[in-house]
Amino acid sequence: MIHAAAFGTWGTRIPAIKHHVGIGNGQLGIAFSGLAIGLVVGTRIAGVVVDRFGSRPAIRVATVLLCAVLLGPALADSLAVLTAVLFVLGGVGGFLDVAMNAHTVVVERGYGRPIMSSVHALWSVGLLIGALSGAGAAALGLDPRLHFGIVAAALLVPSFLAPAHLLAAQADAVPAEAKLEPGFARPRLLLPAVLLLGLVAFSSFVGEGAAGDWSAVYLRDSLHTSSGIAATAFAAFSFAMAACRFASDPLQVRFGPVALVRAGSLVAAVGLGLGLVIHTPAAGIVGFALLGAGFAPVVPITFSAAGNTGLGPTGVILGRVVTMGYLGSIVGPIIIGGVAHATGLRGALFVLVVLALVITLAADCLSTAAAGEPVAAPAWPGA
């Protein structure tokens, strides 16, 4: 929730920060590239750090650091500075993302039942809290520096308190002596299982990002609704995703991760596909809601599966899968924008239908996720 609230806060004040720095849309895109590159770099570093020191100390440091670096965008006064501070914000955010998911994998093993989707549901709640507080601050005309300072101070207290209850660092750190065993070797990036998990994460991240970037634009420009009605498309997507993530863990216990993701991705494909074919505002809103509901369990189950492959240390494998997922967030807008330029936005959104079907076909790779049975520690290293 802390992680999501910080990014939700930043996202709502982008117009104010853009105006303060005095840049146009093209320059803002350059600044966004700093955030994207930072996210990828942070996820790559996190795996090594979690492997060496464990996820608990990584979370303790990164959570507090995230509160501090949140102030950076509000204090930026030039494009170069804004790009640099967004790189740092993205780096810390990506690092924390891997660390907290790696820790959840270990806790999930201890429970012997799925909890990852519920944790991700709380992330969705945190994003909503950050977005609502940002909207209120924007409506009041609050200076971003004051707004971000208040949010950072508010998040700092739980950032110190929550990590105190995490598992010991030894829970997921790889002992130094284990690395000397004959069976220990660094996992290769091109392992088919890792690539398939990355493909599923990539596809889902593209869909989630496209819903945020293009759903309102589709209703406003293609279906000619008012701005208020257009905004409800992403609201419906977000609400459906959060609600269904709370329901996903018990469903995963009953039906298993593969069946749940396969059914969810089919719901997403058929729901959005029909919404685009019917081509009315109501159908569009329902279509994006079904996209959110169908994609709800995909990323949590994918991260759980990545942490339990047994192909390498949890942090390293999970970091690679998260990195491939974030690449979807980066190239997704480019893909949708390019196809929209050639065929129109309606045609471009059918890319999401295709990606949902890709997830359906690749769902077998998720069999290592927690699914209601006691989950033993992966056979790594040397076991």
The fold for domain 192-368 equals Growth Hormone; Chain: A; (1.20.1250)
Q: Which two tokens stand for residue 203?
A: 């596809």
Q: Which two tokens stand for residue 234?
A: 């992403």
Most confident of 16-30, 97-111, 264-278, 310-324: 264-278
Q: Where are the alpha helices (DSSP H) in the chain?
A: 2-12, 14-21, 25-53, 55-69, 71-75, 79-111, 116-139, 144-161, 192-217, 227-255, 257-278, 281-295, 298-307, 314-343, 345-362
Sign of the alpha-carbon dihedral angle for 147, 149, 152, 156: negative
pLDDT for the residue numbered 184: 47
What is the pLDDT confidence band of residue 8, given thresholds at 50, 70 and 90? confident
Query: Do 192-368 and 2-166 fall under one CATH topology?
Result: yes
- The DSSP output letter for 378 is P
Residue spans per domain, the chain: 2-166, 192-368
**In which residue are the tokens 């992330």 written?**
123
**Architecture of the 2-166 domain:** Up-down Bundle (1.20)
- Res. 274: pLDDT tops 70: yes
- Res. 372: pLDDT tops 80: no
Report, as an integer, the average pLDDT of 74-103: 93
- Res. 377: pLDDT tops 70: no
User: Which of these, 76, 93, 86, lies nearest to 17 by C-alpha position?
Assistant: 76
pLDDT digits (tens, 9 = 90+) for 21-80: 998 877 887 888 888 899 989 988 998 898 888 889 999 999 999 999 999 999 999 999
Residue 15's Cβ-count burial label (10 Å; 0-12, 13-18, 19+) is exposed
pLDDT above 90 coverage of the chain, percent: 48
**In which residue are the tokens 């480019």 written?**
334
Reported pTM: 0.85
